[in-house]
Amino acid sequence: MSETLAPDLCVIGAGSAGLSVAAGAAAFGESVVLVEKGRMGGDCLNTGCVPSKALIAAARHAQAVREAAEFGIGARLEAPAPGTAGALAPVAAHVRSVIEAIAPNDSVARFTGLGVRVVAGEARFADPETLRVGDLSIRGRRFVVATGSRPLVPPIPGLSDVSYLTNESLFDLEDLPARLVVLGGGPIGIEMAQAFRRLGSEVVVLEAERALSRDDPELAAIVTARLRAEGVVIREGARATAVSRRAGGGVVVTVEGGGETRAEAGSHLLVAVGRRPDIAALDLDAAGIAHGPRGIAVDARLRTSNRRVFAIGDVNGGPQFTHWAAYQADRVLRTILFRFGGRLDPDVLPWATYTDPELVQVGLTEHQARTRFPNVSTLSWPFSENDRAWTERDTTGLVKLVVGPRGRILGAGIVGRSASELAGIYALAIAGRLGVRALSGLVLPYPTRGETARRAAVSYYAPFAGSPVLRRLIRLLKRLG
C-alpha cells in the first residue's frame, strides 16, 4: 500500500554530507526523512576515507619494521610474497574491523534513535515537490540531495573488456598484487601506490599530466621523490590509449608520452582518475533541477534551480572531501533553519594527501594567491631545522606560508610527517583572517613539529632586523637607560 510522508526535511543520501544534515536538523526538532539506496555511511566509511587510511596505516607499520634498525631496534618483516593466494587477507581483515568499529555511528539504529526516519531504496523525483522511493511518496518542505559520487571510468579502448579495480573494489582484495598498474596520479592513486609498494607489490603510476597537479609543485615533488625512492615507478605525461588482457592473466596498458609508445603490464589495474556525481537515477529534470556533467548546479548558498532543493557534497561538482561536505551541511542547515549564515568560503578549504610524507594545503596556494592579491610573498621553514623531526629521524619536508598584504596569511602548504595534524593551526589562522603576528606569538610545547608554524612566521620579521630606523631607535633607548 502506498504511503505519503510530509517531513520538514528530506535528505537523499546517507554519506557524510547527508548524515550531517539529518542529524543536525533532527537535533533542532525538525521532522527528517533520510533515504539511502546502499550502505549507511556512504563512500567515506565503506570504500573511501576509512578503509584507505586503515590500509595506509598497515603499510606504514610494514615500513616501520624495515626502518627499525635506524633506531637501534632489531626487527624482521615477515610477509607473504606478492601473488600468493590470501597474502593480503590479514590486512583486509584489519581494514574491515576498522569499518565495523566506526559503522555504528552511521547506522540506521543510531539515526532512528535521533528521531530520523530512514528509508531504504532508490529515490527519484516525480515532480518539483515530490520524491518517490518505491511505493512511498515524500513531499518535503525542503530537500537536500547528497548522493555523492562514483569512480570515473574513462573511455579508454579495451578497458571495459578487462577486470579492473576502483576504490569500490580495491579493499576487498585478499591477494596481494604482484604488479599493480595505477591509472591516475591524484591523491587516491598516489596514496594507494605507496601503500601497496610498502606491502610488497611492484607499482607503476601512469599520469597524463603532473602527479598531484592540484598541489604546490615544490611540495608535491618532495612526495613523488619519496615514492620513487621506495621503488614506485611514476610516469608523468603518460596518457593511456588502450588496455588489453595479458596472456597468462593480468592486463597491458598502452601508454603514449614523451614522443614514444610503451606497454605497461600488470597483474592488477587500479583506475583512479577521478569521480563523477551520482545523479543518474534521480530524474532531476522532473524536479526542475539544473545539472550537467559536473553535477547539480547550485548558487552560493547551495540552493538548486528548484528553491525547495539544496545539493551538497560531491554531487554539486565542488571539491570532493568529506570535511568539505560536512562544512556544506552546516551551511545548508543555517540557511534552512535560520535563513542566514549559509554562504560558503572556499578560501578556507584544507585538504590532505595521506602519503608518507603527508602533503597538506590550507587555503590558497602560492599560484592562486598571486593571481588574486598584490604583494604576495612566501615564508618557509624546513623540518631539518626542527628538533622533533630529528628525534624521529624524519626531517623530510617543510612548511610554506603564503602571505598577502599587511602580513595576512592566505594559505599554508605542509609536506612532512604528521602534516595533516598540523593543519588546524593554519586553518584557524586563515578562517580568522589572522596575520603572521598571531603565529609568531604562539607558545607551543617543545619539541613538536608545530613549532615550525611560529618559526616560519617569525622569519617574516627578519628583514626588519637590519633596518637603520630600528637600529637608531635601539641606540636611543640604550642612551635613555
Binding residues: 53, 147-149, 184-191, 207, 274, 314
C-alpha cell at 121: 531504496
Residue 418's CB: how many other CB atoms inside 10 A? 19
Give the largest Cα separation in the chain, rounded: 94
| Binding-site positions for NAD(+) | 184-191, 207, 274
| Binding-site positions for FAD | 53, 147-149, 314
Task: Look at phi and psi of residue 86 and say left if phi exceeds 0, alpha if psi is from -120 to 50, else beta.
Answer: left
Task: Look at phi and psi of residue 266 and say left if phi exceeds 0, alpha if psi is from -120 to 50, else beta.
Answer: beta
Task: Identify the burial level of 146 via C-beta atoms within 10 angstroms of its C-beta, where 0-12 means exposed, 13-18 middle and 19 or more buried.
Answer: buried
